[in-house]
A = this chain, B = another copy of it.
Amino acid sequence: MSDYYSINGQLVKAEEAKLHVTDLTLRRGYGAFDYLRIYRGQPLFIDDHLERFQHSADILGLELPMTKLQLKHHVAELIAKNATTEAGLQFFLTGGYSADGFTPTTANLLILQVPLPARSAELFERGCKLISYPYQRDLPEVKSTNYLMAIYLRKAMREAAASDVLYHSGGYALETTRSNLFIVTHEGQLITPASGILKGITRNHLLRLASASIPIEERPIKLAEVYAAREVFISSTIRGTLPVRQLDEQLIADGKPGPVTEQLMAQFREHVEAYLAITEQTMLIHS
């Protein structure tokens, strides 16, 4: 637990951070969400995350009480107050306190600092197992607070000893509960779905990094193509790039992380380092 959370631009002691029970996100699951990672005290790719948070809010018709620039400064203030080096930040824009329990009102903006999950080095070396499940997220292009299916599926995941669940719809693979999907075909093409999904920030950076050296296609992926792929990996803010060695009972190729996956994992790590070096330098100049 961190020391301070932010509620509507005010830093509040974590244990005192409360919302009134009439808030529409509590009662109706109607709210915008985002999540970024703090590395060495820097909010990684914060501009991308705030842009997406704004986009989610716009689609849901919820108004941010600050500009993106004000929000960025406020995040810096929160990180400084908590003296954070490594953590996650969850952003929520809620439906607000609603008298009729259905109509959004003035949104509440929450920012919660959360501990990072333990990282298993072995999982990243061996690759993870996914199970498939027929589902498409509601308003897939919006990062919302609706994780009903994701949390409901925890039991099935645990029983299958899987790391995540791959959603599919109409025969097409989409995304996992909290990550984007990539496959590498036997022809060496990198493919990721273009629609019906949340466009992850890590996904977008990976596509830009990969485009210099690998042929890329953003298009629908048949579930059968995933089982038959040469390589499969997933990407997210928490995981970066995580190889997939198994989908349901089927091993992907020989069940070992492939060279394209490993190349992109390394490139992404370097890319993060370069980003941090630039922001640290900018901070030195401004201090």
Contact = CB atoms under 8 A, between A and B. Distances in A.
Interface string A122-139: 000000000000010011
8 contacts: A17-B21, A21-B110, A21-B112, A27-B33, A29-B144, A60-B152, A138-B149, A146-B148
A103 B154 contact: yes
Interface string A85-101: 00000101011000111
Contacts of A94: 26
Given A28-B145, A29-B29, A112-B22, A139 B151 contact: no
Contacts of A139: 148-149, 152
A241 to B, nearest CB: 21
Contacts of A25: 26, 29
Contact of A7 (B21, B101, B138): B21
A100 B117 contact: yes
Dominant SS among interface residues on chain A? mixed
A19 interface: yes
Nearest to A178: B102
A23 B5 CA distance: 14
A101 B90 contact: yes
B145 A29 contact: yes
Contacts of A150: 28, 102
Given A29-B146, A100-B115, 7 more contacts: A15-B20, A19-B19, A25-B29, A29-B147, A61-B155, A99-B115, A146-B148
Contacts of A148: 28-30, 138-139, 144, 146
A3 to B, nearest CB: 14
Nearest to A16: B20
A26 B28 contact: no
A26 B22 contact: no
A1 B139 CA distance: 32
Contacts of A17: 20-22
A163 to B, nearest CB: 13
Interface string A1-39: 100010100000001011111111111111101000000
A52 to B, nearest CB: 17
A30 B154 contact: no
B155 A27 contact: no
A104 interface: yes
A30 B147 contact: yes
Contacts of A26: 19, 23, 25-26, 31, 92, 94, 145
